[in-house]
Structure 1
Amino acid sequence: MIIRIDFKSETPIYLQLSNQIIENIANGNLTPGEEVPSIRRLAADLGINMHTVNKAYSLLKQKGLLTMHNSRGIVATGSHIAEDEKKMSSVKKALRPIIAESICYGFTNIQLKEIIDELYKDIKGGKVDE
């Protein structure tokens, strides 16, 4: 799992961390069932506060992407079932303000689709699903 924190970014560190863990699940660097580092270990490795890592992990647990196991620790649970209405609703809710902002900047529907296709391909390591 690759995590890089930009301490100069305006994006809060816990969001950077949670977004990068999501991307690691999406691109296969972190597979469902795979253990993620403990809160203490990840905080030490990244040089950040344990509460920050805990906040990121809590957010990912709420989204159903991480699960706590007594015997195995914290594991990724990312599912690839897009038909789940709750997940679909969550993604739409997150995309809505981004799309609205893009429209304000003058992006067309075609341009937005091209951006999404480009980012999808980049995250998946050049692989495109149909």
Structure 2
Amino acid sequence: MIRKTACSAVTLLVLIGATPAFATNGMNLEGYGPKSMAMGGTGSAYDTGNSAVMNNPATLGYMKEGTSEISFGIRGLHPDISIENGPNADKSDATAFYMPSMSYMRRDGKVTWGVAMLAQGGMGTD
């Protein structure tokens, strides 16, 4: 009974103390492509499709031999930026930044090749 109560108390404290995690700082995206973003930005050692060309092009070698992949996408960043520093306060008028991406990859035998255009970041800092 005491053990169950202690476990419940610890679980409650962890849940109360948890804060939301935001995995991007706006300038650098946490991931490229839907697979990488869904997995929290992984892509250095895991095949995330065509967008892997941004993190680790070697993972494109995992494509099936004789296959081609074409990809198009657009990512939207909608920040709400404001600053307050003593008597000074300001708010950004910019509310939307769109970053397009497109790529074509092909594996022929032991060679994988392709072309890609992906956005590196956002918020008008590029």
Q: TM-score, structure 1 length as denominator?
A: 0.21
Return the structure number with greater strand share.
2
Return the structure number with greater helix share.
1
